[in-house]
Structure 1
């Protein structure tokens, strides 16, 4: 058996020297050892070799001179503080000159520690440095991409988005930036599909440069597609630093390295952006290409959103375009002031002033919940439904019940997903009759509704709130009142979700001055409304004796001749350009039907209009008249057919006390209305 070999022992000093030697010769960290006078005692090859300087040229120099040779800024106060306190400084970023073969400045992470011997005496400092240029570059690119997501697309405007792209990337990514958008995009239209099919016409939408950057074109001119290359690239592409290959003019500077990035979304060409750096700057690399693609993708998304908003805004504006003022048709009943305060959210709010038979007028204000294009589309369909339903001469609460059914049907047709997305709406309908001042009001949902009487008193809640259309359903809150002439009815749509709503107290104070014209009142109230709300003010009137004639006819067939005589006498007094025979025939037939099929009392009424007159006959019967074609041998049954043939329009409306049959008779052919 061999004798056991003796174990080789190594003292601690030997280990320390070996470790220190390995660190200085093999570690990829730069070391500078300074004495307590801040002179360089020792440096390793990594620290010195990075700048291509021999060790003996640095050793023995004061730190300020040694660092000056390396082109690194020197903070003597920081070193002295570590030397005095012993508190180390770690990961302090220091910028140095570019390394050999690259124009980019180097970034070092520097740490400083105090050196002490075994007895605690201060010997000096050790300064370590690590090249973190790549790391800092990656963090800078990440920060730039984050800023692009935060600062690009703050508004729904394509030119503003282009300017934001310039502001974000200048000077952190380029010394000059040119954003060109297609002419189609700048006009708010849908761009052509497929990048490779067409070469669009480009216009400069935004441009900027630093003092060192090459010149840029003015905003507005047409940029021919060829200035971005033979064809638009499909992704970020490098371009040579020559003026002929980029969008930059040749006067006033030479372009440096650059790249061109298309702005595309879903196969649609929206524009192009060109980045250029100064001639002495570092060329763009693969990481820069990826960053440029990401920034361009963000910008293209924002541009597409802006285009979609523009198109939806055009559609919403068309759908929300109010009808022409119905002054000539409704001014005998009310004097109207209308306002709409747009806010850009696309709230589906609307108002309507609808003339009804018998000089009556329907005032409608509504608001579809959940603003947006779908809300405006729903609003347009509800408006159409209201106009159709008013032809039935329904009471307002009955009309709302029908409108609720329409809303539920629209909900089923257009809703996809949970029921929470189903459309609902608030609506207020008021029907005013200028003959007796009667007003019938019904409400669905919550809205601003007030009645201002001529003495200045304001009724803030003439009708209680009701359930929303499409939600709770009938019965809807309703009320009937008789308003003195000169009263003002104020209706405003309910606030959209998230709106602060109208300041009710201030609005009531503004309304409590009925001595002013409706237009003046509307101007003051409009300022107090939240955006996207509509306002309707109606000052009531009563028909005068020159516009209205009314008689109670005895419930006897012999009274038909008396009715004809009364009509002829009033037509002579009014001197209207209507055919007297037609009017008297229609009146006698309606009175005959009321006596034959209705119940007492029978009331005959003539309503004068600019384009003719309306003949109304009311009775206490509830039976609805039927238009039929009598046989040749029948002795009767032709009254309504005669009226329907001679009149321009006719109809029937039911009331609590019975019904009223009316017929509108126009002026004679070739006759001019009074006052024309």
Structure 2
């Protein structure tokens, strides 16, 4: 064959294919992208039946470093040159080569294979492969080799781990492959096994996998101690035999982390540990002695010098810092039986520690925000004494979750009435807590206007829109929406006025055990759909139970109504016990109110129908005086008579029949109410010295704690509260 003819392919001195021709692709069935970079032995091992091969330098007189491979005819003799090339491959290739006969005896090995095994060549040649390497597991087991020999199907890329005699203190990883060799007739001649040391590659991939696992598994909870525990679980035993995580005392108390000190160490406490740490493993929460992590804490991961009592242990220390603030420190330790930490391990520890520190910062921020949220949800204190004559209330707040802005309130209203409020801002986070606090304050302010529940929600919707306009200008804060249920209970009549925005839980249980899980349909969200909001008026017998929560029971299931009914189907139980059962059905961060209704006893009420005649005012004053004496009320009777006289006079002059006077005796106040059918509102004005009238409401406002007007469908009520010590 002329030397000028182009070779089928070109390989380097190590036997790896460098260039692959179209003729080679057609002859061997491998495209160029699959052949380039592979050992030439892999290509030629399965192609003996295609003819002979001649291997030589690309140009006459050249000794490499590149070699060409040409196809030879049946009469062409190239054995001498081929043998020379094979000798070169066996002496210069960086791939370990083993040639085995059909009985799996070692016929030939190259110098790399001898170096990998650490055995002299004369102890390997001619012996069965399992016997030659009985002390050092062979690259591929005997069963695999016999399968390759019998079927001709190669086995590639089998990873084998071991400690070769040349480097017994370090585990190496070899990528091994096996190929059958055969003559032109297809008769098996033996097996060629290759081995490549891929320790560095596998080490890099292992470190990447561990770093990925750290990002996946560390920081799944917003709790500093659980984050420390997750760090331990990820790194033992994949990275170290024992791990000790310590956090600063300030971080464990929920305070701001300190700056990384230039000298010494901050006060550290054990947060999590695993394995047998040299020098003893401390208990969680214990203060760690100075020097356990070195004299000074390094700014980057560093190796500690060996301890005198444990000279063979390798210890790596990494600070848990974010922007110069120290959250803690982690120490990784490997015993003497394993490989010591190296430079690559320092880089991996740096990545794991940085991610953990960020997670600790997030957990600390959440903890502080949760404390703020809980404090805001608990403000102001619930006025239990002011509402116990109308309702028996059980309150629950289920902590946890994402920190949603949930709240509830029990607000006393004039006339012994009580308002129940339950709400939740949809967007979680500290912005939701701030919005919740603003909406809660707005509800308290709106209740002073004596609005119907659906009117109050309409105005609260306007407030939510205003907050959305303000917060919409702040990057990263979404426009707020909220759900809210507002209920007013009148213990005099037993009437319940309710309105809903959103789909929060609302159920009614009557004393006979009948349950209405949805007395009012769900309405649009505050700040979203807007009014009109769903509302209803109910008259409940005393002993009925109202259940309000900021979220649905058993959310996301079709059994929410059924589950709620099962929890509320025992009206004989106290509100506290019912609240315990319902609370378990609610999602995290939900709030709950369970209220048992009461009626005011007749001994606490006095009511008269007053004719629309000025002469009836005097008789009413006489009736009021007599009732005060029967009650032995500490309220000044002269003040009460004056207030009653002024309110009735206004009703007779400017209102319309029927007119009703009602006295409600409270624990420390007396409420006077005058109801008439006219919807005109009384106005407080400052009369001039020469005016003959216009001073009635001014006098009432001066002598009473508070006064106001509320409207219903067909009448209005003017009321005034008089303190028990009110005098002229």
Please, what TM-score do these two structures have when normalized by structure 1? 0.89
Q: Is the 1:255–1:279 contact (alpha carbons within 8 Å) kept by the matching residues of 2?
A: yes
- Which of 109, 112, 115 is residue 178 of structure 2 equivalent to? 112
Higher alpha-carbon deviation: 489-498 or 364-373:
489-498
Alignment of 1:242-253 (within 5 A): 242-243=307-308, 250=309, 253=310
Alignment of 1:31-430 (within 5 A): 31-51=97-117, 53-68=119-134, 75-98=141-164, 100=166, 103-193=169-259, 196=262, 199-209=265-275, 215-224=280-289, 226-243=291-308, 250=309, 253-279=310-336, 281-321=338-378, 323-416=380-473, 421-430=478-487
Report the alpha carbon displacement of residue 234 of structure 1 after superposing the two structures with TM.
1.5
Alpha-carbon displacement from aligned partner over 1:534-586 (angstroms, at most 9, x marks no partner): 33333333333211111122222222221111111001111112211121122
Q: Is the 1:204–1:220 contact (alpha carbons within 8 Å) kept by the matching residues of 2?
A: yes
Report the alpha carbon displacement of residue 183 of structure 1 after superposing the two structures with TM.
1.2
Q: Is the 1:500–1:530 contact (alpha carbons within 8 Å) kept by the matching residues of 2?
A: no
Q: Is the 1:177–1:216 contact (alpha carbons within 8 Å) kept by the matching residues of 2?
A: no
SS in structure 2 at match of 1:223: coil
Report the alpha carbon displacement of residue 405 of structure 1 after superposing the two structures with TM.
0.7
Alignment of 1:576-655 (within 5 A): 576-655=633-712
Cα distance in 2, alignment partners of residues 490 and 95 from structure 1: 65
Cα distance in 2, alignment partners of residues 477 and 578 from structure 1: 41
**Counterparts in 2 of 1:164 and 1:357: CA distance versus 1, 3 Å:** same
Cα distance in 1, alignment partners of residues 433 and 517 from structure 2: 28
Cα distance in 1, alignment partners of residues 659 and 263 from structure 2: 77
CA RMSD of aligned residues (A): 3.0
**Counterparts in 2 of 1:461 and 1:638: CA distance versus 1, 3 Å:** same
Alpha-carbon displacement from aligned partner over 1:276-327 (angstroms, at most 9, x marks no partner): 2223543322211111111111211221222122112212211222654433
Higher alpha-carbon deviation: 369-378 or 544-553:
369-378
SS in structure 2 at match of 1:163: helix
- Which of 17, 25, 28 is residue 83 of structure 2 equivalent to? 17
Report the alpha carbon displacement of residue 226 of structure 1 after superposing the two structures with TM.
4.0
Question: Is residue 432 of structure 1 aligned with residue 489 of structure 2?
Answer: yes
Higher alpha-carbon deviation: 289-298 or 463-472:
463-472
Cα distance in 2, alignment partners of residues 405 and 51 from structure 1: 82
**Counterparts in 2 of 1:324 and 1:501: CA distance versus 1, 3 Å:** farther
**Counterparts in 2 of 1:492 and 1:498: CA distance versus 1, 3 Å:** closer
- Which of 524, 536, 544 is residue 487 of structure 1 equivalent to? 544
Question: Is residue 467 of structure 1 aligned with residue 524 of structure 2?
Answer: yes
SS in structure 2 at match of 1:642: helix
Correspondence for 1:4: none
Gaps of 5+ in 1: 1-6, 244-249, 671-676
Correspondence for 1:547: 604
SS in structure 2 at match of 1:313: helix
Alpha-carbon displacement from aligned partner over 1:221-246 (angstroms, at most 9, x marks no partner): 32355443342211122222225xxx
Report the alpha carbon displacement of residue 194 of structure 1 after superposing the two structures with TM.
5.4
**Counterparts in 2 of 1:296 and 1:523: CA distance versus 1, 3 Å:** closer
Cα distance in 2, alignment partners of residues 538 and 159 from structure 1: 38
Cα distance in 1, alignment partners of residues 253 and 575 from structure 2: 39
**Counterparts in 2 of 1:306 and 1:574: CA distance versus 1, 3 Å:** same
Q: Is the 1:171–1:210 contact (alpha carbons within 8 Å) kept by the matching residues of 2?
A: no
Higher alpha-carbon deviation: 308-317 or 41-50:
41-50
Question: Is residue 559 of structure 1 aligned with residue 623 of structure 2?
Answer: no
Cα distance in 1, alignment partners of residues 558 and 252 from structure 2: 35
Report the alpha carbon displacement of residue 516 of structure 1 after superposing the two structures with TM.
4.0
Q: Is the 2:423–2:484 contact (alpha carbons within 8 Å) kept by the matching residues of 1?
A: yes
Cα distance in 1, alignment partners of residues 398 and 692 from structure 2: 61
Report the alpha carbon displacement of residue 74 of structure 1 after superposing the two structures with TM.
7.2
Q: Is the 2:552–2:560 contact (alpha carbons within 8 Å) kept by the matching residues of 1?
A: no
**Counterparts in 2 of 1:419 and 1:79: CA distance versus 1, 3 Å:** closer
Question: Is residue 568 of structure 1 aligned with residue 625 of structure 2?
Answer: yes
Cα distance in 2, alignment partners of residues 153 and 120 from structure 1: 60
Higher alpha-carbon deviation: 357-366 or 334-343:
334-343
Please, what TM-score do these two structures have when normalized by structure 2? 0.83
**Counterparts in 2 of 1:74 and 1:651: CA distance versus 1, 3 Å:** closer
Correspondence for 1:673: none
**Counterparts in 2 of 1:20 and 1:271: CA distance versus 1, 3 Å:** same
Report the alpha carbon displacement of residue 215 of structure 1 after superposing the two structures with TM.
4.6
**Counterparts in 2 of 1:283 and 1:520: CA distance versus 1, 3 Å:** closer
Q: Is the 1:182–1:200 contact (alpha carbons within 8 Å) kept by the matching residues of 2?
A: yes
**Counterparts in 2 of 1:92 and 1:220: CA distance versus 1, 3 Å:** same
Cα distance in 2, alignment partners of residues 304 and 176 from structure 1: 24
**Counterparts in 2 of 1:229 and 1:454: CA distance versus 1, 3 Å:** closer
Gaps of 5+ in 2: 1-59, 62-71
**Counterparts in 2 of 1:546 and 1:154: CA distance versus 1, 3 Å:** same
Q: Is the 1:31–1:43 contact (alpha carbons within 8 Å) kept by the matching residues of 2?
A: yes
Cα distance in 1, alignment partners of residues 116 and 572 from structure 2: 89
Report the alpha carbon displacement of residue 608 of structure 1 after superposing the two structures with TM.
0.7
Cα distance in 1, alignment partners of residues 269 and 570 from structure 2: 55
> Number of residue pairs matched?
655
Cα distance in 1, alignment partners of residues 481 and 538 from structure 2: 28
Q: Is the 1:176–1:209 contact (alpha carbons within 8 Å) kept by the matching residues of 2?
A: yes
Cα distance in 1, alignment partners of residues 595 and 118 from structure 2: 89
Q: Is the 2:389–2:598 contact (alpha carbons within 8 Å) kept by the matching residues of 1?
A: yes
